[in-house]
Amino acid sequence: MIIMIIKFVDREEELKALRERLKSEKFELIIIYGRRRVGKTRLIIEAIRDTPHLYYLATEGDNLRYFKAIAERAFPHIKYIKEDWEALLHALKDKVIVIDEFPNLIKENPGIISTFQRAIDMELQNSKTKLILLGSSVSMIKEKVLSYKSPLYGRRTASLRLRPLSFFSLRDFFPEADTRELVEVYGLTDGIPYYIAQVKLPFWEWLDEEIKSPLTFFRDEVDFLLKYEFSEPTKYRRILEAIAFGKTTLKEIKDFSGLKHSDITPYLRNLIETDLVKREVPITERPTSKKGRYSLADNFLAFWFRFIGPNLSRIEEGTFSAEEIKESYDDYLGQVFEKVARQFLLRINKQEKPPFKFTRIGKWWHKGEEIDLIALNDKEKKALFVEVKWKDLNLREAKGIIKDLKRKSELTGIKYEKHYGIIARKIKGKERLELAWDLEDF
Ligand SMILES: Nc1ncnc2c1ncn2[C@@H]1O[C@H](COP(=O)(O)OP(=O)(O)OP(=O)(O)O)[C@@H](O)[C@H]1O
Ligand SMILES: [Mg+2]
């Protein structure tokens, strides 16, 4: 098998922070966690590249024996140490030790956490040892390592929850693509490197081949994500399906999925913790507001539940084609483009380009009305209202949209100095509008 290693993209801040920690003169216990496929392993490999280290990928069983073998290869003196976690950890004092998929270790031996704690307290704490634990089972990492109930609580010196890359980093993966094609790709991959790495351009040709391939990664991916995290994947899948079908409130999800109310709340909480679902409130509300809406956390899940899940048997038969996805893809990209537009505004905000520097950004909705993006500076009492359209507009259409946006802005109750903007795929005559951006500006 040929494994193509793609150039490492972005993650500059994370790399810098990790390398600084690796150089520190004291003990560090660093936890890196995040959704499967998000790039944890690759990040740490890049970070430790120039430092002598031991990298161990935990498996389902026999970890102690494998760990010792790997440690021996990195540090030959380990050969004379007995096969015992505590003895090994003591002997690895002052070294850089990475344990990937740490939750596998916990599964094999739940007592391991106390063993690590003892080793840290007795020996490592006053050394230069760097212990770095990685895990994709966010739920397990949170409960067993980060929570105050964990024996390791209070020992960690840093934790990093890795998020998907931004839309703009897709440019580094596909320098030859135009922005429109990048939005199309992002609609499938989000900023998740593993999915980005699957894609080849031209996008539609690749997609058609991929869904017709008997080996397509699409087929098992969602089951794989759910089985890894949860013992009842079917129920979780029903909830994700409901959300993908536009059910955004607790009640709607309950009616659609047919699950009990008492089940849904903890399940949703778990889905949020594992970065598969997110909950958002209107920007004018507190985080605890009852107006919260649930949505799928990334474009990959949205894509999968909309286009792949319902067609699995046809994909299996080989009778499904990308042409059918293409028919409604622009419609689907409406929500994707909102996410892109939000990142665009954040980006120009850094360059101090909008009419003012905003400090937070979100959406707003009430009854049937909705505003795609609102950016606020509460101190200066300034607000920017933005409508986002995945469409080609002429000047008249754009003006009409802004007029309606002005009307809606009055409904929000925001009493700040108001600015209005529009972001669309293409706006003819945008120079004649005050705040109008299209793909050319991205
Ligand atoms: N910043 C990046 N730039 C380029 N490619 C990347 C980047 N991060 C990850 N990748 C690639 O994406 C794929 C998935 O990354 P990786 O295996 O590190 O994810 P992970 O979070 O460890 O996933 P898992 O939870 O499944 O172990 C790999 O092929 C990796 O080389
Ligand atoms: Mg990994």
User: Which atom number of ligand 1 is nearest to the Cα of residue 134?
Assistant: 22
The domain 339-441 having CATH identifier 3.40.1000: the answer here is: no
Q: What is the pLDDT of residue 285?
A: 96
pLDDT of residue 228: 83
Decide: residue 238, CB within 10 A, 0-12 exposed, 13-18 middle, 19+ buried.
middle
Quote the ligand 1 centre to 275 CA distance (angstroms).
Answer: 16
pLDDT value, residue 54: 97
Angle between helices 218-229 and 233-244 (to 10 degrees): 120
- Ion ligand 2: protein residues whose beta carbon lies under 5 Å: 41
5 falls in which pLDDT band (50, 70, 90)?
Answer: low
Domain boundaries, the chain: 12-161, 167-334, 339-441
Residues 6+ apart with CB under 8 A from 54: 70, 71, 74, 75, 92, 95, 96, 97, 98
Task: Among 10, 42, 161, say which to mutate for ligand 1: greatest number of ligand atoms within 8 Å of CB.
Answer: 42
Q: At what angle do helices 179-189 and 322-350 cross, to 10 degrees?
A: 110
Q: State the average pLDDT over residues 84-98.
A: 97
Q: How far is the CA of 172 from the centre of ligand 2 (A)?
A: 22
CA atoms of 235 and 244, how far apart (whole Å): 14
- Please answer whether residues 429 and 393 qualify as being in contact, where contact means their C-beta atoms are separated by less than 8 angstroms: no
More confident residue, 6 or 200: 200
In ligand 1, the atom with minimum distance to the C-alpha of 38 is 21
Q: Determine the distance separating the centroid of ligand 2 and the alpha carbon of 424, expressed in angstroms.
A: 37
Determine the atom of ligand 1 nearest the C-alpha atom of 37.
23
> Can 167-334 and 339-441 be said to share one CATH topology?
no
Residue range 266-305, pLDDT digits in tens: 999 989 988 899 999 999 999 999 999 999 999 999 999 9
Q: Collect all residues with Cβ–Cβ distance below 8 Å to 19 and sequence separation of at least 6.
A: 47
Would you state the pLDDT for residue 4?
A: 56
- pLDDT, one tens digit per residue, over 317-340 is 889 999 999 999 999 999 999 999
Query: Does position 99 have pLDDT exceeding 90, yes or no?
Result: yes
User: What is the fold of 167-334?
Assistant: Arc Repressor Mutant, subunit A (1.10.10)
Please state the CATH superfamily assignment of the domain spanning residues 12-161 in this structure: P-loop containing nucleotide triphosphate hydrolases (3.40.50.300)
pLDDT of residue 229: 83
Ligand with minimal distance to 42 CA: 1
For the stretch 134-150, pLDDT in tens is 998 777 787 788 787 88
Cα–ligand 2 centroid distance for 39 (angstroms): 7
